[in-house]
Amino acid sequence: MKEGKVLFNEQCSICNYEIKHYKKRSELSFSDCSHMDDKYLKRLHVVFENGEELTGVDAFIYVWKRTDGYMWLAKFTSLPIVYHCAKIAYSFMAFLLFWRFKLVLAISGNKGK
């Protein structure tokens, strides 16, 4: 698989904190999606030049496989039972973080996207 660009919400303090850590330990390409469509704010995305995308847990597995010290987490999360539990947990957490971000935008008066 060719190298993709990791899209993350730089304005989300939790997302930004985690991605800063991965940036220090990988050669991946990262890009802020905080001003893009809500689709990109709701989950971590990895986009490829051919239009293919990985989202959510699959995007994290992609990042972990290419980040020093995280291959073990990618392998563990890829186990069938763990993978399905991770998808459920991630969906819940991503939902909460998205709406937290939207609430902060509304309170601050920044309409954003």
* Three-state secondary structure string covering 23-42: HHHECCEEEECCCCCHHHHC
Structure confidence at residue 113 as a pLDDT band (50, 70, 90): very low
Assess whether pLDDT exceeds 80 at residue 3: yes
Give the pLDDT score at 105.
67
- Residue 67's Cβ-count burial label (10 Å; 0-12, 13-18, 19+) is buried
DSSP line for 46-87: EE-TTS-EEEHHHHHHHHHHTBTT-HHHHHHHHSHHHHHHHH
pLDDT tens, residue by residue, 42-97 = 889 999 999 999 999 999 999 999 999 999 999 999 999 999 999 999 999 888 88
Average pLDDT, the chain: 88
The 10s digit of each residue's pLDDT in 28-44 is: 999 999 888 877 878 89
